[in-house]
Structure 1
Amino acid sequence: MSSDIITIHTRVSSDLHTPRPTEPIRPLFEDNESESELEEPPQSIVEKLHLPNRIALHVTTDGRDDCKVDFECNDLKWGIEISSSSTYPTLHDDVLSFRYYVNEDNQEEYALFKVWVMLFWYFQLPAPSADLIPNKQGSPRGSWQVHFNNTGPFFKLANLQAVEAAGLVSFPDSGAASGEWIGAYATRVGFWQLPPEPFLNPVCTSKKPLHMPKPVEYTFTDRVRHPVRPRPQPNGDMYTRWIPSFGQFLTFRLTDLDEDTEVVHRWMNDPRVSMFWGEEAEDPEKTRSFLKKGLGSKHFFPIIGCWDDEPFGYFEVYWVKEDALGRYASDVDMWDRGVHCLVGEQKFRGPHRVGVWISGLVHFMFLDDPRTQTVMLEPRVDNTKFIKYLVDAGFYKEKEFAFPHKQAALMKLKREAWEGPLC
């Protein structure tokens, strides 16, 4: 082990700092000997998280000093220390430093992995208040962020350049001739827009195929010009994320005719579902044909949502431009996405879960193609409960309009306004 240190620091005015609470004043000659003999040393707290590739990550907080955090993933171990103006996390004031760091053979790859994991853990902590002026009504709001200093593994310029090239950090001065390597920062909202796979190579037993945005080629559908769409990959999960608040994996995968026809058929025959979908049928073959048609579509694909690999819902992810919605929505971009939603399992319904899977769907669509700037939904106007869930998730209602089969509310969420997935 080396004694290299990497520091994350901030540049916020001290006027915004909250002072640490002071320790109570004790009598000068107080006898605490017997009391200290009875006290047991605080126990370390070990939290088990999972990376998107399902590899376990053990995070240990020192019971005597909760500002010291150790990470262990496979055979890799490293530790950080957090200093702050108050109890962390804060919006801008936390300072994260590596207490110890091992220089592996491929230093750039391992530096990327360890910084990504550190931010993966940190940005899943309870979000601090975004108010820049505490206790002030109408306070301006800031973005949750941390800043990097070029020390430790980033003392090597190649490492710092690799972190910037990977999109983990930005610089206040983006001029090519500035030559400045100070003030690098990472934000929560920016972090969650990065696909995790490129950072997980040091702990990957099997690597997924490289996923890149499809080069632009154009075609026509019903006289609508739009890009040729990439085919969804049929093998494995399309999206996987560990949800600490539930202690479960949330996944989305492509629908499988043999595996999913029976469960989707049961869901479609639930009166609560058929009221909005109208796909009830006695014969499962009708449901199978419905799913087969979706799998053969060029502009949408059906997926199954799962909690710990147990199916809970059916979703259709589509490209708005060539969809029927594209004729009604305004300012539709070539890469805007939409989604239809159905939750079939009773035990997975309710507001405590819906916000998480909605944010997961949005996360998936923003990761799937970085050119997607807006996600849209068009629920029926009398589906007021779901519309409220969407508003709570950050969507806004642009207007109502009349489809041939329903009166719909056009709900939109722009990437710029998205604050990241719920954890």
Structure 2
Amino acid sequence: MAPSIIHLPNGQTLTVTPVFGGIRFKANDLNTHHNAFPPGWTIVINSEDEDDDAKHRLTSTHSDPDATPRAELPPSQERRPHLHRYRRPTLRNDHMFISSISNPSSHDFRPPTSPTRQIAMMLWATLWWYFHQPRPPPHLTTAASAQTPEEGRPKGEWRVHINREGIFKGKHLLPKLERMGIVATEDSTVGVDPGDGVTNAGMGWSHMFISQRTFWQLDPRIYLFTLTPTQSNSPYPSISPSPSRSGSPSRPSSNLSTTIDSSSNSAAAAQIGRSSTPPGPFTSSSHLPTFYPPPPTQYIFSPAGVRHPIRPKPPRQGEVVYTRWIPSLGQYLSFRVASLSKQPCAYSGPTSTVNPPPDSVLGPSTRESLRAGTTGGPSLSEPIIPTLRGLSLAPPQQTQQPGDNSNETCHMTDVELLHKWMNTPRVAHSWGETGPLSHQEAFLTSSLTSRHSFPLIGLFDGQPFGFFEIYWVKEDRLAPLLGGDGCSGDFDRGLHVLVGEQEFRGSHRVKVWLSALVHYAWLADLRTASVVLEPRVDNVKLKQYCEEVGFHKEREVSFPHKQSNLMRIRRETWTAPAL
């Protein structure tokens, strides 16, 4: 296994390296203010196989009806597990635990307020790496299926076992992780051991696991947060990462005597001719997880008389709602809420190439604030001081060659993007929203003021490529066409999709962004049971793309303006987004 780099949704990167006895995870951005991880940790991961004799006995027992049933074999002939070092994922035979943690110096960072949350964060990042590995064959080999051809054998979920070893040996740690949803067990009994599995390791919490399907439905905001820098003698400034929130009061630092306020941040954004944007989904000036559970359900009636739950307010204009590294493309995919701003929306999320902005981008006061400190202190370009790029205040710098229009969309407002895309013949054939700039502005205004949907702009590495709408089915015009037989649940969602940029078309990219939109719907509300699309019946290609992602055609529905295929994907049949 060669060293590899993993990219987390919040822009952090980790280096994964095989070491003696395990695998080492090392944070690459410890010298930045918003590093989320300790310097590193080591896991032990093994795979369990049956030995050749056990496999032979399983086969012969199945073929000979007079043979001793497997459950009745004497102890000397029972299945003997054979552990070997991890080479590649197996469907259900991998076991792992965190064996050691390297904590950062207490001189620079405070100890975590909740060590359990820090361990959960490391376990989540480890599983992020594990479930990005090539998926093992899905077929199960059992006593009953030993003679069945492999393609005809039953299928099982891909899962990894979390052993009660290493740092997981504590009496209360695994129960806490189970309540946080990151591990599970099939044993739902209280158990008869008063020590809750401590005195008898075979009971209680010794058989924990997590499946691929469950992992991808865990919201990263539950687990990802940042370590808190110390307030004295620290090179890490205590400032707010968001231009809309001021930093908390703190004692002056000996290495940074001036803090950056929100006005200087806004000035920096204004100087580059872009609108300031709300913080991303992982931004937290308190260094705490940013996930909040949904409130209790309350019901109201829509203007059309449909009883439905009160919907949460959508994210703000320009706010990034989803970010994920796509290994097969080598790019970050993001979705942000569309905006009516007269300035291009600044993209502050991660990209595949991170280039700090030059000094010319920053205002004089901001530049001097960053450089202030002890005599001969570090400059802006040195890694010990975070740049505006690292603080998510400025967009990545685009270098455009003469005659190169690949970055043209980065300098357009969302209304201009819609005007360009909607007037493309290919898009106009499906959407029918051609017209002048004022028409697209009215279209976007209507979408932003809808009470049951909101618009999104899709981006690859910060470059806009498409327009999408995500809506609640219960209040949509689709709902009456589904009838009153429970075809639309209270929290079912639907999608409208549009790819405007020619260079971002293609079957693989469709699988990536379409499965990501479904993934976002699952994460946005755990009560969402299905997602639907209703492409026109003559859009055969989109129907095929939907089926490749996991949608199935439920039936056809007749709108006043079109005949559509009703494509649906259910949470219970969804496994993972396209990687």
Query: Could you state the TM-score of these two structures normalised by the residue count of structure 2?
Result: 0.62
Q: Tell me how large the CA RMSD over aligned residues is.
A: 2.0
Query: Which residue of the partner structure matches residue 250 of structure 2?
Result: none
Which of 222, 225, 242 pairs up with 2:307?
Answer: 225
After superposition, residues 137-286 of structure 1 pair within 5 angstroms as: 137-176=151-190, 179=196, 180-202=204-226, 206-207=283-284, 209-221=290-302, 222-234=304-316, 236-258=319-341, 259-281=413-435, 283-286=436-439
Alignment CA distance shift 1:386-1:211 (3 Å): same
Q: How far did 1:177 drift?
A: 5.2
Query: What are the Cα deviations for residues 157-202 of structure 1, in whole angstroms up to 9, with x where unaligned?
Result: 2211221111011111123456411211100100111111121124
Give the aligned residue type for 2:426. Answer: R
SS at 1:239 equivalent? strand
Match of 1:9 in 2: none
User: Closer, same or farther in 2 for the Cα pair 1:357/1:135, shift >3 Å?
Assistant: farther
3-state SS in 1 of match to 2:151: coil
**CA distance, structure 1, for counterparts of residue 99 and residue 292 of structure 2:** 35
Would the aligned equivalents of 2:326 and 2:333 in 1 still touch at CA under 8 Å? Answer: yes
The correspondence for 1:113, drawn from 121, 126, 134, is 121
- Rounded to whole Å, the distance in 1 between the matches of 2:552 and 2:177 is 35
Structure 1: stretches of 5+ with no match in the other structure: 1-43
2:496 maps to what in 1?
Answer: 340
Paired residue type of 2:5: K
Whichever residue aligns with residue 71 of structure 1, its letter is F
The residue aligned with 1:350 is 506
Q: Which amino acid aligns with 1:285?
A: S
Query: How far apart, CA to CA, are the structure 2 residues paired with 1:210 and 1:89?
Result: 30
Deviations 1:54-108 (A, max 9, x none): 112222245xx8x842211234211223332484111112232435334765421
Partners in 2 of 1:256 and 1:60 — Cα distance? 42
Matched, 1:94 2:118: no
Counterpart amino acid of residue 200 in structure 1: L
CA contact (8 A) 1:109 1:202 kept: no
Q: Is 2:571 the counterpart of 1:415?
A: yes
Structure 1, 112-121 or 203-212: larger mean CA deviation: 203-212
* Displacement of 1:209: 4.7
Quote how far apart the aligned CAs of 1:135 are: 4.9
By how many angstroms is 1:422 displaced?
Answer: 1.3
Say how many residue pairs are matched.
Answer: 376
Measured after TM superposition, the shift of residue 212 of structure 1 is 2.5
Partner of 1:48: 5
Aligned counterpart for 1:81 among listed residues 41, 44, 48 = 44
Q: Is structure 2 residue 17 aligned with structure 1 residue 60? A: yes
Structure 1 range deviating more: 288-297 or 202-211: 202-211
4+ residue runs of structure 1 moved beyond 6 angstroms? none
CA distance in 1, matches of 2:447, 2:171: 49
Question: SS of 1:101's equivalent?
Answer: strand
Q: Give me the TM-score of the superposition, normalised by structure 1.
A: 0.84
Instruction: Give the secondary-structure state (helix, strand or coil) at the position aligned to 1:241.
Output: strand
Q: Is 2:477 the counterpart of 1:324?
A: yes
Alignment deviations for residues 268-327 of structure 1 (CA, whole Å, 9 cap, x no partner): 01111110100011x111101100110000000001111111111100100000101111
Residue identity opposite 1:132 in structure 2:
L
User: Which aligned pairs between 1:367-382 and structure 2 lie closer than 5 A?
Assistant: 367-382=523-538
Q: Which has the higher strand share?
A: 1
Larger radius of gyration: 2
Query: Are the counterparts in 2 of residues 107 and 159 from structure 1 also a CA contact under 8 Å?
Result: no
Worse-matched range after superposition: 386-395 or 143-152: 143-152
Which structure 2 residue ranges, 5 or more long, are not aligned?
31-37, 50-85, 104-110, 142-147, 197-203, 229-240, 242-282, 342-412
Distance 1:385 1:189, change over 3 A: same
The residue identity in structure 2 corresponding to 1:237 is: V
* SS of aligned partner of 2:172: helix
